[in-house]
Structure 1
């Protein structure tokens, strides 16, 4: 896959400032705008860059309750869990993992009552453990050159 230092710098910049113009990106990495555009397009074509997103403050959307819900889903219920729980709007991230709990969900809710309802719905597929998030000092950290 071989990325050079310029590719890594472009990735770093785009991960933190995804709306940067090609001209500004080029200035930051000492390339012309057309050369920068070509580099970014190659990274997109290779699947290194998979998309661009806006970062949203969920509390300003009226979703102040954030929780981690760990679920131990019974194997027979796995497909239904994926079809029923993962698409719910409260689920903002989901990881299928090894260990005692096979799913780790990050959810956002408007109230503790909504969280309770979500957890009860999730428990139809197995045991859960829920932790409220106090703060997230590291979130969405950019991938950097090793």
Structure 2
């Protein structure tokens, strides 16, 4: 039953979500064993969680560095206009921008950028700077990345 804070999950739902975040390739049989349910009952639960929008998809976690992108940076963009089409067009044609967040505060957007090197980062940030003022912070290291989200109680 939904609430104003989202979908209400029971302990089995929470366990399934945790297991799938740990290993999205777990079979229904393995998931069922983890929550002491049959594979068919587990499939029903997973389908319900998907239909409710709790589970939104399955992806592989890959190493950006292994794929040739050793530099990560966060770019804050002060966007001077309410016409977001130029930004959306740039995002659609710049695959190195892997996250974009519209935020409150002095900057309008925070973008996560991956680059092959410093010249590549300069090229990408140059394209972004054509839209507004930017501030770039290069990532030294990431002591916490991709933490699993625990369902609220």
TM range (shorter): over 0.9
- Mapped pair 1:26 → 2:29: no
Evaluate the alpha carbon distance shift between residue 76 and residue 22 of structure 1 in structure 2; reply closer, same or farther with a 3 A threshold: closer
* Normalised TM-score (structure 1): 0.95
SS at match of 1:85: helix
- Mapped pair 1:7 → 2:13: yes
SS at match of 1:59: coil
Aligned-residue Cα RMSD (Å) equals 1.2
- Distance across 2 between alignment mates of 1:87 and 1:140: 25
Report matched runs for 1:1-146 at 5 Å.
1-75=7-81, 78-85=84-91, 87-146=93-152
CA contact (8 A) 1:8 1:145 kept: yes
More helix by proportion, 1 or 2?
Answer: 1
Deviations, residues 37-87 of structure 1 (Å, cap 9, x unaligned): 110011111111110000010100111011001100111553211211354
* Normalised TM-score (structure 2): 0.91
- Distance across 2 between alignment mates of 1:99 and 1:86: 24
CA contact (8 A) 1:23 1:32 kept: yes
CA contact (8 A) 1:77 1:125 kept: no
- Distance across 2 between alignment mates of 1:134 and 1:116: 17
Give the unaligned 5+ runs of structure 2.
1-6
CA contact (8 A) 1:85 1:122 kept: no
Q: Which stretch of structure 1 is more off in the superposition, 67-76 or 109-118? A: 67-76
- Distance across 2 between alignment mates of 1:51 and 1:114: 31
